[in-house]
Amino acid sequence: MRVSWLIVAALLPPALAAVPTPISAQAPPATCGSAALPGLEAARARLRPETPGAGTVVLTALRAASVDEFLQIAAVITGLAPTAPAIDELVRSPIATLPLPCSAAVVARDRVTYALLLGGYSAREIADIVSGRLSKRDIDDAQRLLMAGQREAVVAAFLDRALQARARRAERAHPQSARRSPPPRKAAPRAPAPRTPSVVPPAAIVTDAGIQAAILRLARQYGVDPGLVQAMVAAESGGAADAVSHKGAIGLMQLMPATARMLGVDPSDPIDNLRGGIAYLAGLLAQFGNTRDALIAYNAGPSHAERVRGGLAVLYGETRKYLDTIGRRYPL
């Protein structure tokens, strides 16, 4: 009997090794593919196709805008920066071909994103919900207030309070990691150049004569009011040609690298940056038909502009401040 127990004991470790680990206890694979990330796959499927040879500002702008929205969603799912090579490559390559990080948290964020996409939420709302800046209940309560006839300003204030409350809770929970994002980096001050009244409105801050002339020329080329461009430059970058936001947006018009690529410009070149941003704005103006909605689309994405226009959402947080800043320089 003693010998038989010794035999069993010798065979036991290999037998245990052959028993599969329960799925719930298995670590996720190192990288995720399309099947593991249906939310990311659904977001990518919404990218507008490239239209080589079409040559219209509107089509180019809408393609660039869809890339901007996709970057918001991809970054919040994967936890990577919007300018990370893997995120940037997602615009051009299928998900299955890229080594995207995979963890239980990534998969969970993707599942939430997929449900929100099916629910019709905008990319800005999805990014805020998945990142924890707002809850789905906050967004839904705001929509119910709108449906009940509450004024937009009241609903916007409700969401701003929710943003602030969640930011305070996050800071208390993680005092070291919840520091405020740094403002865009600004160029060293230059000596003011003479201002041309027809080019620079009194409230504008861009003083470089070459930039002023480029704004006037490019605004006329694309049929955009140069005063609006001046106000946008002030709001986007403070007039600093080398401004870089914490999200990686670059230059006077704060273009993301992938968006600039869609527009065919070099975002680090001030004149090219203006050309891309003004063409982008011109396309959105043609699509939405009014300045306010086009600016919302420029800052928060077309899907959010559509929801605001349809009475399903309001301006809040960064986008609300953005329009207020422009509105102080240019009548909306």
How do 31-32 and 100-101 pair as beta strands? antiparallel
From 69, 152, 171, 236, active-site residue: 236
3-state DSSP assignment of residue 142:
helix
Beta strands in the chain (DSSP E): 31-32, 100-101
**End-to-end C-alpha distance for the chain, whole angstroms:** 92
Phi-psi region of 150 (alpha: psi -120 to 50; beta: other; left: phi over 0): beta
What Cα–Cα distance (Å) separates residue 52 from each residue in 65, 71, 237? 16, 22, 31
Tokens of residue 318, six digits: 């960064």
What Cα–Cα distance (Å) separates residue 73 from each residue in 42, 257, 258? 10, 16, 14
3-state DSSP assignment of residue 281:
helix
- Whether 297 and 284 have beta carbons less than 8 Å apart is answered as yes
3-state DSSP assignment of residue 244:
strand
236 is an active site residue:
yes
Longest dimension (CA), the chain: 105
In angstroms, the CA 40 to CA 110 distance is 7
Tokens of residue 90, six digits: 């997602």
Q: Classify residue 202 as exposed, middle or buried by CB count within 10 Å of its CB (0-12, 13-18, 19+).
A: exposed
Q: Identify the CA nearest to 315 among candidates 299, 331, 332.
A: 299
Backbone angles phi, psi at 202, to 5 degrees: -55, -30
Tokens of residue 30, six digits: 């190192």
Q: Which residues are catalytic?
A: 236
